[in-house]
Amino acid sequence: MRGGKRGQFRIRRSLAAGEYRLPQILLGRDLPDPSNLDETEAIMNGESCVHISEIKTVKHPKSHECEECVKIGSGWVHLRTCQTCGATLCCDSSPNRHASKHARAAAHPVIASAQPGENWLYCFTDETFAEY
């Protein structure tokens, strides 16, 4: 929610049991218009993922590179910043998928897009994302 109060987010979650497809925004595209959502997704007003609700200030990348890819000389597609420790890592479209590996290994559930112009958070635990 651009221009909104800090800590207030627009929440969106998959409603299909057992299946979850990443929303287009997570693939670097624009957020779909809420009036055109397909039947497996809905904007959930007033409902929030506890992990995203705990974010009071969004951490932004210190540099625009995947810390782990740099170490191994690999490339990346998009970048994500861990909202627990501030690490900037590559997305699941990248060959090494460092952000989701980090989330699972370190139990740090929430990331923010580190892409210029993208203002969203994603919780791996609850498969929920929010605009800010």
Mean pLDDT, the chain, as a whole number? 76
Asked if residue 4 is part of any domain, the answer here is: no
Range of the domain at 39: 10-131
CB 130 within 8 A of CB 113: no
The CA-atom distances, in angstroms, between 70 and each of 19, 75, 76 are 33, 8, 9
Strand order in the sheet with 110-113: 41-43, 10-14, 128-131, 120-123, 110-113, 79-82, 88-90
Q: Which pLDDT tens digit goes with each residue over 14-25?
A: 433 333 333 433
Residue 49 inside a domain? The answer is yes
**Residue 72 included in any domain:** yes
For position 27, which CATH number holds? 3.30.40.10
Total domain count for the chain?
A: 1
Q: pTM, whole model, 2 decimals?
A: 0.68
